[in-house]
Amino acid sequence: MMTICDLPVDLVEDEIISRLPMTSLRSVRYTCKTWNTLCKNRIFFGKPKKHFLMMDSWRICLMNFDLSKGGNPSIRQESILDQIQISNVFHCDGLLLCVLKDSSRLVVWNPYSGQTRWIEPRHSFQFRDSFSLGYDSNLNHKILRIFDEIHPVTSRHVLGFEIYCLSSGSWKFLDVVNTHWEILSNVRSVSLKGNTYFTAQKIITEGNTIKSFGGFFVCFDFTTERFGPLRPLPSQPEHGRFSICLSCVREDQLAVLYQQLDNTVEISVTDKISPDVVSWTKFLKLLIGSWVNPFSRSLFIDEEKKVAVVFSLELGKACFYQTAHVIGQDGYFKSVRIGEALNVDILNYCAPLVCSSYLPSLLQIKATNRTNGKNVIIH
């Protein structure tokens, strides 16, 4: 009698595994050794399906995007990845760093393997903390935490920095001496090639007056555990209020979005990007018909369709809605409501898009013997 494991390899690979979402792929690979090998080969040598990951009601969801400009763009949920309630999540090469809803702990998670690593704080995490996940030149993964603290001399609010090394299972403070730029404590970072990029403000002190100017970014290098120089973004704000957000294109490019109060949206993409060198190309500049909410902290670019999708909050009659704005190089503009935005805090708004090109990873999360880092499997 033929069993499921006796099916022809070509049939399994081309007609079954290639069509499965990531959540099902995780279960299928346990069916038999052959199927497990085929799943691994698809990640290493094939073209695994890219996934859109989004936050919805404290959980991470797989989403399907139809951006056909000939009809109406649509966004629908395929599945929910897990049952853990989280308030924020950060992506780095197949791993997710999740902040629990109550900000009590962190968890590093590989959705494909189900492996997780729970991270306890040194003392406690705060709601407005910012995190990023990266790795050094030896592929040791680390977590950067940015938090508010009171300066002991000036009594001013300043940023504190500490780093967690997954291989050693320990936190340590970073001594970041900086007087000419600052990162907003709740700004969203972008991980690229193991390093993390932040939008930043330039600080100029004139006597007792401190002035800040937006339109810059900095890179944190997880190998040296240091920030690089403050660098200007490709376009500087011309006047008035503006909004800036960073994203990534595929796994090797950085993108930046500008929004001006005159309804101008401008997006640029890097040609080259490293801690030491960066160059940009303009992707689009468009005067749209209505102001996209300035709290647009996530976007993605579809290079094939020549469109960008910007996510923001839109105020309805009785609530806020998560909304995706599809913007084309040819002047195309269309807004799609994803759903109601629950428990919205405008100042600490968590953008819905986690990753626009998530690829499953076979990376193993390193275990530790320390008590503040535990490895388990979520099925």
Evaluate if residue 275 carries a pLDDT over 90: no
Give the highest mean pLDDT range of 26-30, 133-137, 335-339.
133-137
pLDDT value at position 307? 86
Q: What is the mean pLDDT of residues 130-141?
A: 93
Mean confidence (pLDDT) of the chain: 76
Residues 8, 149 share a domain: no
Task: Tell me: do 163 and 226 sit in the same domain.
Answer: yes
User: Domain holding 98: CATH number?
Assistant: 2.120.10
> What is the average per-residue pLDDT within 260-265?
75
Lowest mean pLDDT among 105-114, 120-129, 179-188, 238-247: 238-247
Residue 20 pLDDT more than 80? no
Q: What is the pLDDT of residue 172?
A: 95
Q: pLDDT of 280-330, one tens digit each? A: 999 988 877 665 665 556 788 888 888 888 887 777 767 777 788 888 888
Same domain? For 42 and 163 the reply is: no
Alpha-carbon distance of 378 to 364, in angstroms, equals: 14
Do 100 and 7 belong together in one domain?
no
Per the listing, tokens 């979402």 go with 21
Counting beta carbons within 10 angstroms of the beta carbon of residue 264, is it exposed (0 to 12), middle (13 to 18) or buried (19 or more)?
middle
| 210: its two tokens | 């401190």
* Shared domain check, 180 and 302: yes
The confidence score (pLDDT) of residue 294 equals: 53
Q: Which pLDDT does position 118 carry in this prediction?
A: 94
| Region of poorest pLDDT, from 32-36, 127-131, 221-225 | 32-36
Beta-bridge partners for 210? 205
pLDDT in tens, 163-205: 999 999 999 999 987 778 888 666 778 899 999 999 888 888 7
Q: At residue 78, does pLDDT exceed 50?
A: yes
59 and 18 in one domain? no
The percentage of residues in the chain with a pLDDT greater than 70, rounded to a whole number, is 66
Lowest mean pLDDT among 127-131, 137-141, 349-353: 349-353
Indicate whether 39 and 61 sit together in one domain: no
Confidence of residue 135 (pLDDT cuts 50, 70, 90): very high
Q: Are 160 and 150 in contact, with CB atoms under 8 Å apart? A: no
Taking the C-alpha atoms of residue 153 and residue 197, their distance in angstroms, rounded to an integer, is 30
Exposed (0-12), middle (13-18) or buried (19+): which is 308, by Cβ within 10 Å?
Answer: buried
Which pLDDT score is estimated for 377?
42
DSSP bridge pairs for 132: 144
Which residue's entry shows tokens 């986690």? Answer: 354
* The pLDDT value given to residue 235: 76
Region 2-20: what's the mean pLDDT?
Answer: 52
Please check whether residues 236 and 182 belong to one and the same domain: yes
Alpha-carbon gap, residue 272 to 252, rounded angstroms:
9
**Do residues 190 and 234 share a domain?**
yes
What confidence category does residue 224 fall into, taking pLDDT thresholds of 50, 70 and 90? very high
Cβ neighbourhood burial of 46 (10 Å; 0-12, 13-18, 19+):
middle
- Domain end call among 10, 31, 49: 49
* 276/23: higher pLDDT: 276
Q: Same domain for 140 and 250?
A: yes
Among candidate residues 25, 49, 73, the one where a domain is terminated: 49
* Number of domains comprising the chain: 2
The whole-angstrom separation of Cα 355 and Cα 377 is 22
**What pLDDT sits at residue 281?**
92
Residue 18 clears pLDDT 70, i.e. is over it:
no
- Parent domain of 63: 50-377
Print the SS3 string covering the chain. Answer: CCCHHHCCHHHHHHHHHHHCCHHHHHHHCCCCHHHHHHHHHHHHCCCCCCEEEEEECCEEEEEEEECCCCCCCEEEEEEECCCCCEEEEEEECCEEEEEECCCCCEEEECCCCCEEEEECCCCCCCCCCEEEEEECCCCCEEEEEEEEEECCCCCCEEEEEEEEECCCCEEEEECCCCCCEECCCCCCCEEECCEEEEEEEEEEEECCEEEEEEEEEEEEECCCCEECCCEECCCCCCCCCEEEEEEEECCCEEEEEEEECCCEEEEEEEEEECCCCEEEEEEEEEECCCCCCCCCCEEEEECCCCEEEEEEEEECCCCEEEEEEEEECCCCEEEEEEEECCCCCHHHCCCCEEEEEECCCCCCCCCCCCCCEEEEECC
HSE (side-chain half, CA atoms, 13 Å) at 49: 20
- Structure confidence at residue 164 (pLDDT): 97
Which tops the pLDDT comparison, 35 or 358? 358
Residues 38 and 94 occupy one common structural domain: no
194 and 290 within one domain: yes
Flag the least confident range among 20-29, 251-260, 273-282, 320-329: 20-29
